[in-house]
Amino acid sequence: MMASDDRLRRVVAVVDALPARGTMDALIAPMRPVLARLRPPRPMTLTRLLFVPADPLIVPAAAWTPASPAVPRSALPALAAQVRAAFGEDAAALDGRMAGLTMEAAAKVAEYGALLWPHAARELRRRKVPADWSATGLSEAAHEAIVRPLSALLAEGVALVRLAGMEGAEAVAEAERLLRAAAADGPAALGMMLALLLRRLPRIQRLLRIADEIAPRLGSGATAPIERALEFLVGEISAPPADDAAVAQIALHFHGAARTLDQLEGAAASVREPAPAARIAVARERLAEHCRVRFVAAAERLAAPGGSSTDEPSGPAGLEEEARALLRLEAVGRHLGDGEAYERPLRETAARVAGDGRLPRSFRLRLAEILVGPEAALALVGPAG
């Protein structure tokens, strides 16, 4: 695993160093879920910096539709090229400032983004479909469907970055201002801003009420973007985590997704047009199934002869963390409504660990105790000697 991760980091570094990535992006595309887990340092470039405000909404082109509150990844190079052409020498100067920096330099992202985002929003709004747009695989009509709401986000890029440092009433007040500002650009911009804020803030019900109050003023059908923003969020959270994610990461993923689903269900009756309750119910079922499958797989790895992590640097401590993460995953699964599906696999895992003669008795007892409690663990391991 570690060697594979290192190779992937080297491949990404080579691609990032190319002056023009071109078709090499197709090489990276299947690796993006793993990259999201590894989070390797990525060089700061105009294209990456430009789309920071919309980053959570960037999706594969195949997953995008004109009604979606998202941005297709295939459009990014063409739009960035338009911005670069409009900036001329200023773009070259910005390149010089960013040289040697990575996207982890948050202060510089905010500083240079403030120079780029508002002006890019104005330029994109008045630019026509670029000559090389066909390379995106999108129709010419898609250009306006993307650019108009995207420009509304870029215009508020500085505020969106600052929002990350706000909490409570201050964050809600700023979110309301952002929604009203986006609505001035039309329903699609309102939907895109709402989709972004739903991903960033925990006050889902409050955000939906604000959007529901604003939408009717935009004319008939203006509530449809609210529905699509909700559907986008539901689709995002019901997707499974990366196949190679660690048990702790898997548990964290499902915990966050379950919490968001709970909020969505609570918000379903708070908007004028009902939230997609059927989609939310399906998402819960799908999430419960993904959680169960990942739990069984993680339990099998933990119960493997000798333990699944004895050859890793973490050693016994790694196995104990896996056991605790397995319990966290079980708790999420039970919360999702699939409790009985976890009892037998958990007992069987504890029994296999307890009977694994390759591990010291004290360690077998410790792992089994984490999984099923001290009394059941002692019964499984048996008396000393």
Domain positions in the chain are 1-36, 41-237, 241-385
Q: Give the number of C-alpha atoms closer than 13 A to the C-alpha of residue 268, restricted to the C-beta side.
A: 14
The pLDDT tens digits of the residues spanning 137-156 come to 999 999 999 999 999 999 99
What does pTM read for this prediction? 0.79
Tokens of 309: 């992590």
List per-residue pLDDT tens for the chain, 385 residues long. Answer: 444 666 666 666 655 555 555 555 665 666 666 665 666 678 999 999 999 999 999 999 999 999 899 999 999 999 999 999 999 999 999 999 999 999 999 999 999 999 999 999 999 999 899 988 999 999 999 999 999 999 999 999 999 999 988 988 999 999 999 999 999 999 999 999 999 999 888 778 888 888 888 888 887 666 788 888 888 888 888 888 877 788 898 999 999 999 888 888 777 655 555 556 777 888 889 899 999 999 999 999 888 865 554 444 346 778 889 999 999 999 999 998 877 889 899 999 999 999 988 888 898 999 999 999 999 999 998 887 6
Q: How far apart are CA 333 and CA 352, in angstroms?
A: 22
pLDDT at 224: 82
Nearest alpha carbon to residue 160 among 56, 32, 67, 260: 56
H or E element: which one contains 59? strand 58-59
pLDDT at 23: 55
- The distance from CA 138 to its chain's CA centroid, rounded to whole angstroms, is 24
pLDDT at 335: 92
* H helix runs in 127-223, sequence order: 140-155, 157-163, 168-183, 187-200, 204-214
pLDDT at 216: 81
